[in-house]
Amino acid sequence: MDDVLKEYSKQLPIKIIDEVKKSVPKNVSKSKLKEIMENILEEYKSMKVAFGESVGLISAESIGEPGTQMTLNTFHFAGVSEMNVTMGLPRIIEILDCSKSLSTPMMEIYLTSPLNKGKGIKEYAEKIKETTLGECIKEVSVNLGNSTIEVETDDNKMNILKITKNKIIKIVNTSLKGYTVKESGNLIILKPRGKEDTVNNLFKTKEKIKSIYVSGIKGITQVLPVKKGEEYVIVTAGTNLKEVLGMEGVDSSRSFSNDIREINSILGIEAARQSILNEVTKVIDVQGLNVDVRHIMLVADTMSISGLVKGITRYGVVSEKSSVLARASFETPLRHVINASISGEKDELNSVVENVMLNQVIPVGSGVPKLVVRKE
């Protein structure tokens, strides 16, 4: 059987051959298999894309058209145990813009055994979450008489996080300059070093204290252990892929973030491309729309072909175009024309808009083939 299939491996995509392998009964005769393969090959040939087909525009249409049907502010709100994530059109725009700051950064952390069975997952999740001093404190107050700041710690919370008072003092000491930190009773007292501080400054530091980083992974503001299929995963709000992937107990081959730039910088462009594909597909599926992967794939490829992730904006993909007129017809036409004239750019007129502007045949689809006639 494999011999017959092998013959076709050059002419047919692997995916199709694999499917045949899987679904053909084991006892099929060679001639039958051959017949099947011939039929498939014939059908495959009839389904191939035509040369010159403007697949780019078709992809743009296929993603742009359902965009009008998407609802604007859909938050994923499926019950109790789900994180709020931006979905729908805003998310698509976010992905294709390749924006630097996401409205809801998020990670899905897969775990290795035994954590993925749900054992000790709560404690583990707490460990990942970024804890600030504000969370292990009951109260902060300013003692105006001595011009000191008094911090009352929350022992309950500290027990959960396994932090000692000494550690807190140490942390405060290193991150706040100009204060001496002392323990007195159940309070931690901060005293300005040297001269007395102004009241204004004292209140400022009081606020600052709350946001001092204590433990966990920076940037992760919420954690939620969720059962996904057979195993437990941790869903987080906020991302920090680098740190998380380095942690013990994390299945680094499957854990991911929804921040494409981050993925690009840590896992490289191939991963970024795949993650564009995944994220767009996710949004479109949630909306119940039907868009073929090929279209999303092509968009993801155009965004990542240069080796960097480029957004579909005037600074990204569009600025890469070689044609001056094509760039000018998009946005900021004057800038493009002026820059072009300074460097004496030449527009070879080999894409679409330029030729529309000049009333010429566009070099796409039925405009590609040329006819040569010998002049008698």
Partner 1 sequence: MMGPSIHKKVDSIVFGVFSPKIIKKMSSAKVVTPELYDKEGYPVDGGLMDIRLGVIDPGLRCKTCGQKLKECTGHFGYIELARPVIHYNFVSTVLTLLRSTCRECGRVLIPKNKIDSYAKVLDQAEQEGGISARRSKIKEIITTLRTTNKCPWCKSRQQKVVIEKPTSFYENEKRITPIEARARLEKVPDEDCMLFGINAKAFRPEWSVLTVLPIPPVTMRPSITLESGERSEDDLTHKLGDIVRINQRLFENINAGAPEIIIEDLWDLLQYHITTFFDNAVAQLPPARHRSGQPLKTISARIKSKEGRIRHNLAGKRTNFSARTVISPDPMIDLDEVGIPIIVAMKLSVPEKVTEWNAEYLKKFIDRGPKKYPGANYVVRPDGKKKKITDETKEQVIEELQPGYSVERHLMDGDIAIFNRQPSLHRMSMMCHRIRVLPNKTFRLNPAVCAPYNADFDGDEMNLHVPQTEEARIEAEILMQVKTQLISPRYGLSIIGCIQDAITGNYLLTKALNFSREEAVELLLAARENDLSSLSNKQKFSGKEIFSVLLPTDFNFEGKSKGFTGDEKVDMKNDTVVVIKKGQLESGIMDKANLGEGSGLMLRNLVKQYGEQKAIEILGKIFRLGIEVLLKLGFSCCLHDTDMPKEAREEIENTLSKAYEDVDEMIAQFNEGKLEAFPGRSVEETLELKILERLNGARNKTGGIVGDFAQKDSSTIIMANSGARGNPLNLAQMAGCVGQQALRGKRIDLGYSGRTLSAFKKGDLSPDSRGFIRNSFKKGLAPHEFFFGAMTGRDSLMDTALRTPKSGYLYRRLANAMQDVKIEYDESVRDATGNVIQFNYGEDNLDVSKTEGGKLNVQRIIKSVLKA
Sign of CA dihedral 99, 101, 102, 106: positive
Long-range contacts of 271-276, Cβ-Cβ distance < 8 Å, separation of 24 or more:
272/304, 272/309, 273/300, 273/301, 273/303, 273/304, 274/300, 276/95, 276/300, 276/303, 276/304, 276/309
**Count, residues in the chain:** 376
Element (H, E) at 33: helix 30-46
Distance CA 104, CA 90 (A): 11
Residue 264 makes CB contacts below 8 A (sequence gap 6+) with 271, 272, 304, 308, 309
Which token pair is 257?
């973030």
Of 136 and 234, nearer to partner 1 (C-beta) is 234
Rounded to a whole number of angstroms, the minimum distance from the CB of residue 371 to partner 1 is 12
Rounded to a whole number of angstroms, the minimum distance from the CB of residue 297 to partner 1 is 6
Of 24 and 189, nearer to partner 1 (C-beta) is 24
Rounded to a whole number of angstroms, the minimum distance from the CB of residue 349 to partner 1 is 6
Q: How many CA atoms lie within 13 A of 314 on its CB side?
A: 11
Which token pair is 321?
């175009």
Rounded to a whole number of angstroms, the minimum distance from the CB of residue 348 to partner 1 is 5
Of 42 and 196, nearer to partner 1 (C-beta) is 42
Of 58 and 169, nearer to partner 1 (C-beta) is 58
Of 40 and 189, nearer to partner 1 (C-beta) is 40
Element (H, E) at 298: helix 293-304
Of 198 and 350, nearer to partner 1 (C-beta) is 350
Rounded to a whole number of angstroms, the minimum distance from the CB of residue 198 to partner 1 is 35
Rounded to a whole number of angstroms, the minimum distance from the CB of residue 165 to partner 1 is 26
